[in-house]
């Protein structure tokens, strides 16, 4: 069935119930849990950290609202630590402070966690290990899906409450589908814009090294650099459009399309296929994971400040 973008349809329900993925996404049986940290129900400060392959994004949430966010290169942890230390100190008089970290780059995550523990004398909780990600999954058994993709899906569904496609344009480009019940079905992974340009340079004799940017509006690349930019820019946009159409045809309804990631604005600004660009989507997902974990602890009768001995 061919479905055109923008058609008003009723979203169908998933044919199968949500299935949790690997046990890695469940809380580990150790005392290092979110509920072992004193938290205030009235005033909570959350430092959310999302470590990607090349960049780290950090955000400061106050009472569930994102007040600040910043992006840094993974090559230098000093400014990352400085920002987090500043936010941590600003909340020193409040009872509820916590650091949640999600990562697809374990070496960087380990170094940053160790530094923060030493400098702040604070525990750094890992999303996906210490804190589960609140999203159903319909995936192959034992599939290990990146925490960033699941967090983006959880945040996107929390915002729109209906079927959606999440496009994350960073080092890699991921195009993932969440159905009308909030179940993550996976999607597609492709090289990001910078990776494609670097591959063209490294695997040819004459193509130059380029930083990614939007190409000229003229459709023809009249020099080598513009030809490369045209190919990468429109190649990614065309891939995303075809995948979204494919998901819609399979699902039987056209989903909302949400873009995020460091290259999202360059790639998708004024692109009619994209319903909204949310630069801080992964950080919002981290905050949602923390909120659900605290609510789950309270519903089981535990106090937020209860320590496991």
Report the alpha-carbon distance of residue 254 to residue 251 in Å, rounded.
Answer: 8
Active site residue 106: no
Under 8 Å between Cβ of 160 and 11: no
Q: What are the backbone angles phi and psi of residue 217, rounded to the nearest 5°? A: -70, -25
Report the alpha-carbon distance of residue 261 to residue 173 in Å, rounded.
Answer: 9
81 secondary structure, DSSP code: H
Full strand arrangement of the beta sheet holding 55-62: 65-73, 55-62, 44-51, 96-103, 124-126
In the set 148, 168, 176, 280, the catalytic residue is: 148
Location of structure tokens 């490294």: 202
- In terms of Cα–Cα distance, which of 128, 135, 79, 74 is closest to 262? 74
- The answer for residues whose C-beta is within 8 angstroms of residue 89's C-beta and 6 or more apart is none
- Give catalytic residue positions: 148
């Amino acid at each position: 069935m061919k479905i055109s973008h923008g058609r008003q349809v009723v979203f169908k329900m998933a044919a199968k119930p949500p299935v949790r993925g690997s046990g890695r996404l469940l809380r580990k049986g150790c005392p290092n849990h979110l509920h072992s940290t004193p938290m205030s129900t009235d005033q909570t400060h959350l430092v959310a950290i999302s470590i990607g392959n090349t960049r780290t994004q950090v955000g400061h949430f106050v009472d569930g609202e994102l007040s600040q966010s910043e992006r840094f290169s993974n090559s230098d942890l000093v400014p990352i630590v400085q920002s987090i230390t500043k936010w941590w100190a600003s909340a020193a008089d409040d009872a509820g402070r916590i650091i949640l970290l999600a990562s697809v780059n374990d070496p960087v995550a380990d170094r940053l966690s160790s530094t923060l523990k030493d400098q702040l004398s604070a525990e750094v909780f890992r999303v996906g290990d210490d804190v589960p990600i609140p999203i159903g999954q319909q995936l192959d058994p034992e599939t290990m899906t990146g925490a960033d993709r699941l967090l983006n899906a959880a945040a996107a569904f929390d915002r729109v409450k209906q079927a959606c496609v999440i496009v994350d344009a960073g080092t890699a480009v991921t195009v993932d589908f969440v159905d009308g019940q909030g179940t993550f079905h996976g999607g597609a992974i492709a090289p990001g814009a910078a990776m494609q340009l670097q591959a063209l340079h490294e695997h040819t004799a004459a193509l130059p090294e380029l930083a990614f940017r939007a190409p000229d509006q003229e459709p023809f690349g009249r020099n080598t650099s513009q030809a490369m930019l045209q190919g990468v820019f429109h190649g990614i946009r065309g891939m995303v459009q075809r995948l979204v159409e494919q998901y819609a045809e399979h699902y039987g309804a056209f989903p909302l399309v949400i873009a995020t990631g460091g290259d999202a604005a360059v790639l998708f600004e004024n692109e009619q296929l994209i319903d909204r660009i949310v630069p801080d989507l992964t950080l919002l997902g981290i905050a949602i994971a923390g909120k659900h974990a605290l609510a789950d602890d309270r519903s089981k009768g535990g106090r937020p400040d209860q320590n496991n001995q």
